[in-house]
Chain A
Amino acid sequence: MRTLIESLAVLFGRTPRQPAPESISDAARAIHEQRMERRTHEETERIKGLHSAQARKLKRWRLRRWATLILVNLLFIVSYKLDIQMLEGALTASRFVGFHMADLNAALQVMLAYKQVLINLLIGIVTILLIWWTLGGRTFCSWICPYHLVSEWAEIIHMYLRKRNIVREHTFSRATRTWLWLIFAALAFVTGYTVFETISPTGILSRALTYGPGLALLWVGFLLLIEIFYSRRAWCRYVCPIGLTYGLVGSTSPFRVQHDLKKCHHDGICRAVCLVPHTLEATKRGRSSKVKTYLGADCTRCGKCIDVCPTGALQYKFKGLGKSK
């Protein structure tokens, strides 16, 4: 329970807290103490070697994830263009072989604006809720959302420019997203219009893919420019209410990324590639309360950390499935 509250607090924007000394398990404490010792030169070199070997390896999860993301969005396109009717609609609401599905945030906005619970929408909400609760909540973000993909490409450019000192990183308060979530919900209720949808790059891109491009894409382009030249992954990190909604769904999901303290070198390579590094607090030296912990609600289950970790300290896990101790 305490972990859940901490995970939600961090999701809403609070900085992760160091675990209280008494909450750290004996086994974890033992490892922490051992890690406080200085690394020998050979050990440092060995770990360096591991990292550079890992960096050269194929990013397996990224490959799988991009393939899934592209396939799902392609399915939307061909369902309409070739009239195969598999996955109709857009990411705001759709039908998968006839079953209603509704994006939780879009559905929430509609119900707040319309002030009425709609039965078809409710079916769609429950379906999507079950799917994403099982699969991890923000899994939607990294495995389905088309904006996530283009934003990842923008991020590659951003990091390249940063390495060359051409651009400088600017951060925002992570609580901005929580405030925006509340404000957009309030705006929908007060104005009776789904105000957020106008600027949602997820909706805009999803519709553009199926129904053809439009001027609204300029807005998406503008967001990408901000992410390239001003602030890394700004939309997904500090703004997107869809992400926060799915974060809430994922907060109790059984599908997680698990951190194994025993295998961790605390080098922070995972945090450097992560969209939401505050979920990887346990990978910092002395910050893990147990030997095995799960990443928090804001984790998008994208697998980037798993791809870069040379020791397998980070792994996908279905809680309750297989042995986990």
Chain B
Amino acid sequence: MAENGKRSGSTVSTKSGQTSRRTFLRSVTLAGGLIGASLMGFIPVIKGWVKRLRPPGALVETDFLASCIKCGQCVQVCPVEAIHIADLDDGIGVGTPYIDPRAQACDFSCDGLQCVLACPTGALTHHIDYPHQAEMAMAKIVNPTLCLASRGEGVHGSARGRDFKGKLRYTEIDRWNPISVTEHPYDLDVCDLCVRQCPIEQRMTQCDEGNPPANDPNQCPPEHAIRLVETGESDGRKTFTPEILSGCVGCGVCQMICPAESSVFEMDVSTQGAVLGSRRGGHS
């Protein structure tokens, strides 16, 4: 310090040179740190370590990630509050929407795909108008041995126990408002909830009866999504196993409503936006 003080003239420029070099290095460190931090959030996204169910209409994941502006408007309009915003530790893009179907699936109780309409960027593609056009995922049977129907067992009472928070719309009770699943006990000799509550199957039944939703025949799905196949008998009761069909859109209702300890179903999101959702695919 004392040395520096003694020097004249040049000291000033050396000092200011030092300061500006320091400022420069500090600035580079700052920029580098921030870029690093922003990329840290991106690595799990690009690696796809975690796969989550996206809302209906979601484009192929890479396109979805590119176009989602992270505003959460889809969250706000969902009548069953199925959509959540991803956090830092979710690893699927901070601020992007996802559905946790075991807790609350998308039951299409809005009929008109409100989340799709709310999306300002088309990350949830505006090319779809009806539930059966969604390509969120395909249901996959992951725990076949847990299936009640496979043992010929039924459901008596609440499907998911008393503490379950999830909601579904039961058209026969209230056409417009979803109610809590716990408020709707079942009394079934053989469990068929995955088929009974499937939004696609329900629409097909309504259409077969000549009552398409909103009196709009376009609401009628062209293909079945799930059915129970008879497998034999156990203790004098017929047994069944679920079979996923090509009409499945991956809404996750079967995964949610399944009364087994762990759901028989999971959503395989690899088909997300496969045809409609791809911006190059367009309408098919």
> With A94-B71, A118-B121, A183-B35 known to touch, is A198 a contact of B30 (CB < 8 Å)?
no
Which A residues are closer than 8 A to B by beta carbons?
Answer: 79-80, 88-90, 92-95, 100, 102-103, 106-107, 110, 113-116, 118, 120-121, 124, 170-173, 175-176, 179-180, 183-184, 187, 191-199, 203-204, 207, 210-211, 214-216, 218-219, 234, 238-239
Question: Interface residues of B: mostly helix, strand, loop or mixed?
Answer: helix
Collect the chain A residues with CB atoms within 8 Å of residue B41's CB.
195, 198-199
Q: Is the CB of A114 within 8 A of B120?
A: no
> With A187-B38, A192-B66 known to touch, is A216 a contact of B94 (CB < 8 Å)?
yes
- The 24 listed contacts between A and B (C-beta, < 8 Å) are A90-B72, A92-B71, A95-B120, A100-B120, A110-B67, A110-B69, A113-B67, A114-B66, A114-B67, A116-B67, A118-B121, A120-B120, A120-B122, A173-B24, A176-B31, A180-B31, A183-B35, A187-B35, A187-B39, A192-B62, A194-B70, A198-B37, A199-B37, A207-B95
Q: Which residue of A lies closest to B20 (CB)?
A: A173
Partner of A118, one of B26, B72, B122: B122
Q: Which residue of A lies closest to B30 (CB)?
A: A172
Partner of A173, one of B23, B38, B118: B23
Which B residues are closer than 8 A to A by beta carbons?
Answer: 23-24, 26-27, 30-31, 34-35, 37-42, 45-46, 62-63, 65-73, 75-76, 84-85, 87-89, 93-95, 118-122, 279
Cα separation A180 to B33 with both chains bound (whole Å): 11
Q: Which residue of B lies closest to A93 (CB)?
A: B71
Q: Is the CB of B34 within 8 A of A198?
A: no
Q: Is the CB of A192 within 8 A of B34?
A: no
Q: How far is the CB of A197 from chain B (nearest CB, A)?
A: 6
Q: How far is the CB of B151 from chain A (nearest CB, A)?
A: 40
Cα separation A106 to B72 with both chains bound (whole Å): 14
Collect the chain B residues with CB atoms within 8 Å of residue A106's CB.
69-70
Collect the chain A residues with CB atoms within 8 Å of residue B95's CB.
90, 92, 197, 203-204, 207, 216
Partner of B72, one of A175, A193, A210, A215: A210
Cα separation A173 to B45 with both chains bound (whole Å): 32
Q: How far is the CB of B276 from chain A (nearest CB, A)?
A: 16
Q: Is the CB of A204 within 8 A of B72?
A: no
Collect the chain A residues with CB atoms within 8 Å of residue B69's CB.
92-93, 102-103, 106-107, 110, 121, 194
Collect the chain B residues with CB atoms within 8 Å of residue A214's CB.
85, 87-88
Q: Is the CB of B26 within 8 A of A170?
A: yes
Collect the chain B residues with CB atoms within 8 Å of residue A199's CB.
34, 37-38, 41
Partner of B120, one of A124, A195, A234, A239: A124
Partner of B70, one of A95, A120, A183, A197: A197
> With A92-B69, A180-B34, A199-B41 known to touch, is A218 a contact of B88 (CB < 8 Å)?
yes
Q: Is the CB of A176 within 8 A of B27?
A: yes
Q: Choose among B24, B68, B72, B89 the residue with the greatest number of A CB atoms under 10 Å from its CB.
A: B72
Q: Is the CB of A211 within 8 A of B75?
A: yes
Q: How far is the CB of A178 from chain B (nearest CB, A)?
A: 10
Cα separation A107 to B66 with both chains bound (whole Å): 11
